[in-house]
Amino acid sequence: STAPSPGQAADGHGAHTEPAPSQAATKTSIPGGLQMSQDGYTLTPETTTVKPGEATDFRFTVTGPDGRPVTGYQVQHDKKLHFIVVSRDLGSFQHLHPEEAGGGVWSVKLTLPGAGAYRAFADFAPEGGTGLTLGADLHAEGDYTPKALPAAGRTSTVDGYTVTLDGDLTPGASSKLTLKVSRDGKPVTDLQPYLGAYGHLVALRAGDLAYLHVHPDGEPGDGKTPAGPEITFYAEVPSRGDYRLFLDFQHEGTVRTADFTARAGELPAPAATTGPEPTATPSASGSHGTHNH
């Protein structure tokens, strides 16, 4: 499958210029976050032991094509690098903000809530390069049993806030998702900017934890984007299946995270055609229709 990479159609960069087959296989078949290395860049954790429930000074580097730690980054969504840590069962989510410790080393206080397997993502764009998401596995020692994926739903509650989800994920198409924030039954209309928007949404595919780029519609101060209660995003998912959505939003100086499980169902319907209906011809195989693969 060579479905467009997540986020292309949403941000307007998905020009319809077909790359050579070898490029297509490289650039469009693998979503972000599934690899530690891509395009010569490698995510390398320096911290090897993380004890559950204990704050750890977690350090890592991103090495470039020259084999040296990268020190030049573009600022995206107010940060040079976004660091996401989730449990493998997608029950735990953390959006952290590492600091540069010098020499291309990043440092962040990391607390893994319990024993088990985790996945860390570094989302960044090196100077002179394009955006990348690299992933690495982490492990907190101890016995654990993975939890079942939360059931799909359209309402999430956190700290007295209720967030509702409107919109559906369609594989291979740009999907409009609108999240509405309320508190005590009243719409929240004074959301505060967070990472250059009124909300920051991360989408992860259940199973392999593919990291999908999601783009907000509008930005604070543009004269047309209200500060709530609705926050709109555009996402593109590559396949059917379950996805976890994590929305970070800021209100009254505190960032909170609402989470959802959403299911991507049918592929986009083919363009309608006009003309007379074909006449069915009985056959020994029965009337099961033509299967287009």
CA–CA dist 40, 68 (Å, integer): 11
Q: Which residues pair with 259 in a beta bridge?
A: 246
Q: Where in the chain is the domain with CATH 2.60.40.1930?
A: 37-140
pLDDT at 79: 94
pLDDT of 201-244, one tens digit each? 999 999 999 998 788 899 999 999 999 999 999 999 989 999 99
The predicted model gives 60-67 an average pLDDT of 96
CA–CA dist 134, 153 (Å, integer): 29
Chain-wide mean pLDDT for the chain?
85
pLDDT of 240-267, one tens digit each? 999 999 999 999 999 999 999 999 986 6
Least confident of 9-23, 39-53, 200-214, 269-283: 9-23
The sign of the CA dihedral 279, 266, 237, 44 is negative
Least confident of 101-105, 116-120, 149-153, 212-216: 212-216
**Tokens, residue 9:** 């159609």
pLDDT at 280: 46
Superfamily designation of domain 37-140: Macroglobulin (MG2) domain (2.60.40.1930)
Residue 282 predicted with pLDDT over 60: no
SS3 290: coil
**Which stretch of DSSP H or E encloses residue 8?**
helix 8-11
pLDDT at 36: 96
pLDDT at 192: 97
Residue 19 predicted with pLDDT over 60: no
Fold that domain 155-264 belongs to in CATH? Immunoglobulin-like (2.60.40)
The predicted model gives 182-210 an average pLDDT of 95
Distance of CA 242 to the CA centre of its chain: 13
| 189: confidence class by pLDDT, cuts 50, 70, 90 | very high
Other C-beta atoms lying within 10 Å of the C-beta of residue 293? 2
pLDDT of 66-106, one tens digit each? 999 999 999 998 999 999 999 999 999 999 999 999 999 99
Q: Where in the chain is the domain with CATH 2.60.40.10?
A: 155-264
Residue 27 predicted with pLDDT over 70: no
Residue linked to tokens 């991360």? 202
Least confident of 70-79, 122-131, 252-261, 276-285: 276-285
Residue 283 predicted with pLDDT over 90: no
| CA atoms within 13 Å, Cβ hemisphere of 195 | 20
pLDDT at 109: 97
The predicted model gives 136-149 an average pLDDT of 93
Determine the residue type at 172: G
Distance of CA 219 to the CA centre of its chain: 19
The predicted model gives 150-177 an average pLDDT of 95
The answer to whether 33 and 121 have CB atoms below 8 angstroms apart is yes
Q: In sequence order, what E strands does the chain have? A: 37-38, 41-45, 56-63, 81-87, 93-96, 99-102, 105-110, 116-124, 132-140, 155-158, 161-166, 174-183, 186-187, 200-205, 211-212, 214-216, 230-236, 241-251, 254-264
